Each structure stands twice: as C-alpha cells, then as structure tokens.
Amino acid sequence: MNGAIHTHTGARREVRAPYLLLTFIPYYVDSVGDVWLERLWHHDFVEHLTYLRNLILAAPRAAKPEASDELDLVRVEVPSDVRLAYRPLPSLDSTREAVLGLPATIRALWQAIGEADVVHSGVAGWPFPIGWVGNPIAMLRRKRLVIVVESAPWRLTGATGEEGLKKKLRAEVTERVARWFVNRADLVLCTQPGYRDSLFTHGKGRVFITPAVWINEENILSDEAMHLAWDVRRAEPVRFFFGGRLTAQKGVEVLLEALQLLDASYAKPLRVVASSASSASSASSASSASSASSASSASSASSASSAPSAPSAPSAPSAGSGSPTSTEADVTGAVGALSDARRLGAEGRVHVDVVGVGDLRGRCEKAAAELRFVKLRVLDPVAYGKPFFDLLSTYHAVLVPSLADEQPRIVFDAFARALPVIASDTQGLSAHVEEGKTGWIVPRGDAAALAGALRRASGDVASLERLGKNALEVARASTHRGMHQRRLDILLDTFGSSLERVDA
C-alpha cells in the first residue's frame, strides 16, 4: 500500500547495494570501448549515478554507428566513486528474433540478476516487454523487485491502425500479465494514478505516484525571465507548439482535423443582415451599381463586428440601427475573402508548429500546404536541453492532444517556460494539467473541441499568460533531480538502511 515517506535531511544518502537497471533501450559501444546513449536516455541515466553507487545496466548492446548524424548519442562519463557494470542482452528487432533469442536472453538475465540485490524493471517494451523475462527470474532468485510503470503502449486508444482481433488479444494478454507482475512486486512506481488504480489491484508491496519530470532548475524561468518572455509574447501573434512522435496515438490526426475544421470555418462566406436604413437605401436605388455598392458597404460593417468565438454565425447589426429587416445577402467572392481576412485579424490567426518525426509527418506536411487560413509549419526536432527550451520559449501554449494514457514529459517542459498546456482528458494528462489553472482540458479525440480551444486561446492572450504563470509555480516544485530524490527516499524507506551508507 502507499504511505508517507520519511525524508532525511543534512546527510548525503545513497544506495550502495548492487542495483540492476533492466531496460530495452540499447547502449552503444565505440571502437575504443566507450559507451554511448541516446541523448534523452543519457539525460535520465546519468542522474541515477548520483545516488546508485553500484549500478548494473542490463540492456541490448549495439556497435556505435560511424556516422555522427545517424543517432544523437552522448558518451557516458562515470564518476570516480561509482561502479558501473554493463551486462549485454541480445539486440532484438522483431518478434521472430525475440523468440529465437529467448534462450540467450534468459541466460544473460539469470546471470545479471544474480549479481544484484535490487532489480529495477518494468512491464512495457518491444518486441516484448523485457520484464516478462526479468521479473520472474528476480522473484525466483528472491531479489527485491521494483517495477516502474511509465506508459502502457499495449492499450488500444481508438487510433487508426489499431483494428483487428490480433491486436485486441495482444492488448488483453499484456494487460493481464502487467497486472500480475505489478501485484507481486515489492515496490511499484507509477507516473500517474490511473496506472496504480488499474494495475495495482491487490498488490503485496507498496505503490507510489512519481510523475516523470525531466526539467532541472536551469530550465525553469526566473520571475524576471518569465515577465520578459510574456512581454514579448503579448506583442506577437499567438503561436502553439506540438512536439513529439508524429503518430496517431499522440493525437496528430485529431490535431490535423481540428486545424481543418478551423480552416473551413474561416473560409465560409458570412451572412450579412442589412439594417432597415440600408435596406431602404438599397430599395430606393434603381441602378445595379448602387445596389452593389450598398451590399459591399454592408459586408464591411458586418465583418468588423463578427464575434471571434463563432465566425460562421450571423453578424450583429450596427449600433443604433434597430431590429434587422428580412433583407439578407450572402457575401461571396472577393468580398467574402475580404471578410475572412478582417475576421482573422480580429480573432488572431491560428498558428501551429509541429516539431517531430514519425509515420504521420507526410500528412502534416500535406496539410501545411493545403490549409488556407490556418498557418501550420512542420519542423525538425531539436536536441533536448538549451536548444529545445529556447525554442519552446517562443510560443504561447503547448498542445498535447494525446490519445494514450501515458503522462508525457512535455507537460512539465511547458510549465518550466511559463506556458499553459491544452491537453486531452486522458488519465495521464488530467492528473497533471489542471483545468482553468495550468491549462485547458478537451475530450480525448474530439477535434471540434480542440478547434474551439485553439480559437479561444488565439484571442485570449491574457488567459494564456495567467495560466502560464500558474504553471511555472508547478514546475518549480517538480524537477528531474527532485523526482530522483523522491525515488531514493522511497527506496530507502521501503527496503531500509541496508541499501545505504550515510556520509556525513
């Protein structure tokens, strides 16, 4: 069960017992024997070395590519007081390879787990969760088993490509196996409450919620920098950021549909209700030129008073004109286009930048070329760290329309730059984005609702600023180092002082 954690202060706390970290993320070895990790994994891995003094990494091993641009790799620098050992697992790129390589995987994990006192594992992975092999070995060898649940990629989201009995069956089996292991672990760490509630149903150990946060103090804006950032943002058109894998599960299809809905609404001709005065003026004139001039004048007045929240609704008559008559005109052609332009100027043009790679990048680029009134750009990813956070600071809000129930790290990245988040109401997002305080929540998969939120945000910079300032306060209490410190406290509180040596 969950419980309070006793946090010690003043003394340096660390785990000295052999600690095995089991992952399906590969490590790369170069020609001189140095070890390299992908940049994002390196960012998190090195933080483990600050408190796990006897660490064993069991992961697939691969040769470092010669081409430097093939992967974004960073070399692992090991502190002098840390013992780090690598235990290579077979590199498996398909289900067939995983099955054929299973005996070798079992042998390697049996040996590696035998060296450890604590086994840190999981329930997700591809082509099969490596924990399906490591977890039962840890239990057979009576090791302390720690399971971390950061995502549940086997769960179906309703996205394109998830149809079929085979996928449904695999999802059901994986869910049951994950629940079986979670209930038998000594310690379970979940990134959001939904995983705890659905997987830790009758667990024998303890469970805690530890959100995945990768921001550190240097990434979080100071008050002065926050005020300067919003001074600039107030003077610029509202811009939205979407970053991540460009897949259906990330909500990319929903985002594109929302942008198409907005584009279509802006393209609709306005219906103009002429006032009684202008109707009388038009009726009294017999010339076609005079009638055309009157219609054009009515169109201009109507478009200037159009309400931002409903661009396709009838425009209100001019002040003091009295009740409208039954005379109405559909504004089309060049006059309609002029009305659209004026309406976009009043509301604020929706501008979205999509940053990432993935299966749907081509569709994003196609949409960017076809949209007429909504501005969409598709940009290449930037390295996580200063380049990423500098880019993020140029936006007004971050979009996370995910269909999956994981807790994306981008939420806290946005908070660190005083940006609100417009997110879907999944368990992983609604647990950390508070409606009306740090962002806005829309129903998962609802493109019309997302379009409405984008329209609302584009015309309400003051609300975005207020939400962003609230989000910044959340970020200041939620750092990457703080996440690992909490994990350390939980480890020592759960397993006792036998894991540590305290240096005064």
The C-alpha torsion from 212 through 218 and 220 to 222, rounded to 10°, is: 160
C-alpha–C-alpha distance, residues 364 and 361, integer Å = 5
C-alpha–C-alpha distance, residues 34 and 164, integer Å = 44
C-alpha–C-alpha distance, residues 56 and 90, integer Å = 16
Helices 361-370 and 252-267, axial angle in degrees (round to 10): 10
Q: What is the pLDDT of residue 307?
A: 35
Q: What is the pLDDT of residue 225?
A: 97
Place of tokens 């909490």: 486
C-alpha–C-alpha distance, residues 268 and 266, integer Å = 6
Tokens matching residue 501? 């040596």
Tokens matching residue 213? 């946060």
Rg (CA), the chain: 28
Name 74's bridge partners: 37
Residues contacting residue 147 through CB under 8 Å, at least 6 positions apart: 121, 122, 123, 131, 135, 181, 182, 185, 187, 188, 189
C-alpha–C-alpha distance, residues 128 and 401, integer Å = 27
Place of tokens 């480890």: 491
Q: Three-state DSSP class for 460?
A: coil
Place of tokens 């590199």: 91
Q: Three-state DSSP class for 25?
A: coil
Q: Are the C-beta atoms of residues 302 and 331 closer than 8 Å to each other?
A: yes
Taken in order 278, 280, 284, 288, is the CA torsion positive or negative? positive
C-alpha–C-alpha distance, residues 324 and 276, integer Å = 6
Domains defined for the chain, CATH in brackets: 19-213+480-499 (3.40.50.2000), 217-266+348-476 (3.40.50.2000), 270-279+299-331 (no CATH)
C-alpha–C-alpha distance, residues 238 and 244, integer Å = 20
Return left, alpha or beta for 502; rule: phi > 0 is left, psi -120 to 50 is alpha, else beta. Answer: beta
Q: Three-state DSSP class for 125?
A: coil
What is the number of residues in the chain? Answer: 504
* Total Cβ atoms within 10 A of residue 465: 21
Looking at residue 238, its amino acid is V
Looking at residue 244, its amino acid is G
Beta-sheet pairing, 73-75 with 35-38: antiparallel
Q: Are the C-beta atoms of residues 189 and 146 closer than 8 Å to each other?
A: yes
Q: Three-state DSSP class for 206?
A: strand
Strands (E), 49-186: 54-63, 73-75, 83-89, 118-121, 144-149
Tokens matching residue 222? 């100071």
Residue 193 carries which DSSP code?
Answer: H
Q: What is the pLDDT of residue 321?
A: 39
Q: How many helices (H) and strands (E) does the chain have?
A: 18, 18
C-alpha–C-alpha distance, residues 252 and 354, integer Å = 9
Taken in order 277, 283, 287, 292, is the CA torsion positive or negative? positive
C-alpha–C-alpha distance, residues 288 and 290, integer Å = 5
pTM over 0.85: no
Largest Cα separation within the chain, whole Å, is: 99
pLDDT in tens, the chain (504 residues): 555 555 555 566 899 999 999 999 999 999 999 999 999 999 999 999 999 999 999 999 999 998 766 788 999 999 999 999 999 998 877 778 878 889 999 999 999 999 999 999 999 987 788 999 999 999 999 999 999 999 999 999 887 777 788 889 989 999 999 999 999 999 999 999 999 999 999 999 999 999 999 999 999 999 999 999 999 999 999 999 999 999 999 999 999 999 999 999 988 654 444 444 444 444 444 344 444 444 443 344 333 333 334 333 333 333 333 444 433 333 334 344 334 444 444 445 799 999 999 999 999 999 999 999 999 999 999 989 999 999 999 999 999 999 999 999 999 999 999 999 999 999 999 999 999 999 999 999 999 999 999 999 999 999 999 999 999 999 999 999 999 999 999 999 999 887 875 443
Tokens matching residue 466? 């207020």
C-alpha–C-alpha distance, residues 253 and 445, integer Å = 9
